[in-house]
Structure 1
Amino acid sequence: MVELVVVSGVMIMLFLGIWYLGKFQDIQATTIQAARYAAWERVVHKPTAMSDATLQAQTRGRLFSWNTDPFKSTDGQNMSNGGKWATQNGMWLDHTGGGKLLGKPGDVTVSTTSSALPGGTFMNGALKAIKAVSAAGGLTGGTPLNTGGLYQSQVSVRLTDVSSLPAPLNDMKLTLNEKHAVATDSWDASGPKEVAMVTRNYSPAAIFEKINPLLRPLEVGLSLIEPSFKDLHLGQICPDVVPADRVGSGENLKVYSGSSPCY
């Protein structure tokens, strides 16, 4: 009987320990996913468009509030200042089923940073040269190229102590921390217009776009001598226009007339 009592106590502790390890690992898996989500969102949205506070509230609402609803722009708006969980994963409850291992949204914190891409002397020199050329965007009206490209996130999740567990398991003060980093290509663009605006900085002829109305009479006069001059539009950049000699047989394109998709 004594052996049974002693062994039973140990076995119960081991059972609860394995059970709670599974619960903690499930929360950690969500924390890893949250760090990835935050890093990617920071790549897409600059801090001026989406602050860390907004991103933090959305991360809480979308990844730590257990629901099957589609994502909405208002996700997490009630969690920005702590708030309460609307619903939560049953896996994240203690062994009694009544205590939450994540007590409140304020226990989940998200922060992001952005910096230049890591590299040696050559990389740093290349970035400085690109930045210097990109500064000419004020003359051509282009968009400066982002010489950064390393976006990092950190998500911390403070777990609630389970008071019903025996000491010292009832006062572990556990915090899960996960980081994620995304290295991006600054030349990537979301559409033809962004391609044109970034490329404009590196196209000296793009400066003629600002004085194109003044050159128009000259183009009309020259077109009397050479008709092709009427299709000359100095300074315009057309990302999606394919030269005729690059188009395969049977694929005819309309003649470029200076309209969209040119910028």
Structure 2
Amino acid sequence: MVEMVVLCLVLVPLFLLIPILGKYIHIRQQSQQATRSAAWEATSARSYAVPSNAQVRPQLIARHFGAADSRITSTAPSTTAERLDDPLLNTFSDQPLLQRSDITLNAYRNDREPGIMGKLSGLISKLPGPFPPNERGLITARMDMRIRDLRTADGSAAAYLEPFDTIGLRMQTSSTLLTDPWNAAGAGITGNNPRSVKAQIRNMVPTSNLEQGAQMLKGVSSLPLFGVLGDLKPGHIEPDVVPMDKLERYAPRP
């Protein structure tokens, strides 16, 4: 009996902490996935602007800290419940390890690329016109997780699991992506859209300045031996043709 009591003093806390350590790892993986998603949301923003934290945070919580069988929707469901739907975020005493208010999405940060690549992108941004990439095109998303200390079923500190009853564990993850994926608004064959493929590539093609002068060649195309000159198109830029089903339908102009 005495030996069993001594063994239980060691084995019972050990058996209780092994699943808790697994849940800590689970929270770490969830936070890493949520941080990558936060950075991606900023990269693929429709308005070319970084979204607000109030807009992204509910989506991250619903998608990465909800039940595994929940549906992924474009708009996060509104809720005031503190407890998260993922059952792995609860302890052996049915106390929460992580709640909604414990998840913080910090403000996005835009930085320049480090080293020589940052200097080269800075030189490219000096070109006239709207040619990307963005000089400060690296965006960093950072999340903080405040892990709750272990409690018994009545909410008191689980002193027999010291120091996990007062450890005050916190996790922090970050992810960085290049935010300017060009986002060209159409080929630019017609009109003068500054975000079109043609407008952005034009600054990289010095001969594009000859495109207007090429109109003069049409005047001599009717002369013998000079007809072929009318077919020349110096400086002409022809963006790649994209199938219609691959293009997103833009909103009509006001």
- Name the structure 2 match of 1:34: 34
Selected match of 2:158 from 157, 163, 166: 166
Give the whole-Å Cα distance in 2 for the aligned partners of 1:151 and 1:144: 15
Q: Secondary structure at the match of 1:201?
A: helix
C-alpha displacement of 1:237: 2.3
CA distance in 2: counterparts of 1:205 and 1:26, whole angstroms: 56
Separation in structure 1 between the aligned mates of residue 229 and residue 70 of structure 2, nearest angstrom: 58
Gaps of 5+ in 2: 188-195, 242-254
Query: Given the alignment of the two structures, is residue 102 of structure 1 paired with residue 98 of structure 2, yes or no?
Result: yes
Q: CA deviation at 1:166?
A: 2.1
Distance 1:201 1:92, change over 3 A: same
Matches of 1:66 and 1:236, distance apart in 2? 55
Bigger helix fraction: 1
**Which residue, out of 193, 197, 200, partners 1:198?**
200
**SS of 1:156's equivalent?**
strand
1:9-158 paired onto structure 2 within 5 Å: 9-45=9-45, 48-75=49-76, 78=78, 83-84=80-81, 88-96=85-93, 98-104=94-100, 106-111=101-106, 112-120=108-116, 123-133=117-127, 136-137=128-129, 142-158=130-146
Quote how far apart the aligned CAs of 1:13 are. 0.8
Aligned residue in 1 for 2:172: 177
Question: What is the CA distance between 1:33 and its match in structure 2?
Answer: 1.3
Q: TM-score, normalised on structure 2?
A: 0.70
* CA positional deviation for 1:230: 5.9
Contact 1:107 1:158 in 2 (8 A): yes
Question: Paired residue for 1:224?
Answer: 222
In the alignment, the residues of structure 2 paired with residue 69 and residue 166 of structure 1 have an alpha-carbon distance, to the nearest angstrom, of: 32
Structure 2 CA distance for aligned equivalents of residues 37 and 234 of structure 1:
44
8 Å contact kept, 1:28–1:176: yes
What fraction of aligned residue pairs are identical, expressed as a percent? Answer: 27
- How many angstroms apart in 1 are the aligned matches of 2:31 and 2:184? 29
Distance apart, 1:220 and its partner CA: 5.4
User: Are the aligned partners of 2:142 and 2:172 in contact in 1 as well (CA < 8 Å)?
Assistant: yes
CA-to-aligned-CA distance 1:86-108 (integer Å, 9 cap, x gap):
86122221103x3222222x221
After superposition, give the CA deviation of every residue in 1:201-226 in whole Å (9 maximum; x if it has no partner). 223454677xx6x986x565444345
Tell me, which stretches of 5 or more residues in structure 1 are unaligned?
Answer: 242-263
CA distance in structure 2 between the aligned counterparts of 1:238 and 1:86, rounded to whole angstroms: 55
Mark the CA change 1:227 to 1:100 in structure 2 (over 3 Å): closer, same or farther: farther
Q: Give, in whole Å, the separation in 1 of the partners of 2:233 and 2:11.
A: 82
Cα distance change on mapping 1:54 and 1:181 into 2, 3 Å: same
1:51 is displaced (CA, Å) by 2.1
Q: 1:47/1:93 Cα in 2 relative to 1: closer, same or farther (>3 Å)? A: farther
Distance 2:17 2:181 in 1: 50
Measured after TM superposition, the shift of residue 9 of structure 1 is 2.0
Change (3 A) 1:227 1:74: farther
Structure 1 residue 11: Cα displacement: 1.0
Q: Deviations over 1:34-65 (max 9, x none)?
A: 12222233333377252233222221111112
Distance 1:64 1:40, change over 3 A: same
Supply the distance in 2 between the matched residues of 1:9 and 1:51 (Cα, whole angstroms): 50
Q: Tell me which residue corresponds to 1:5.
A: 5
TM score, norm. by length of structure 1:
0.68
Report if the CA contact (8 A) 2:158-2:165 is conserved.
yes
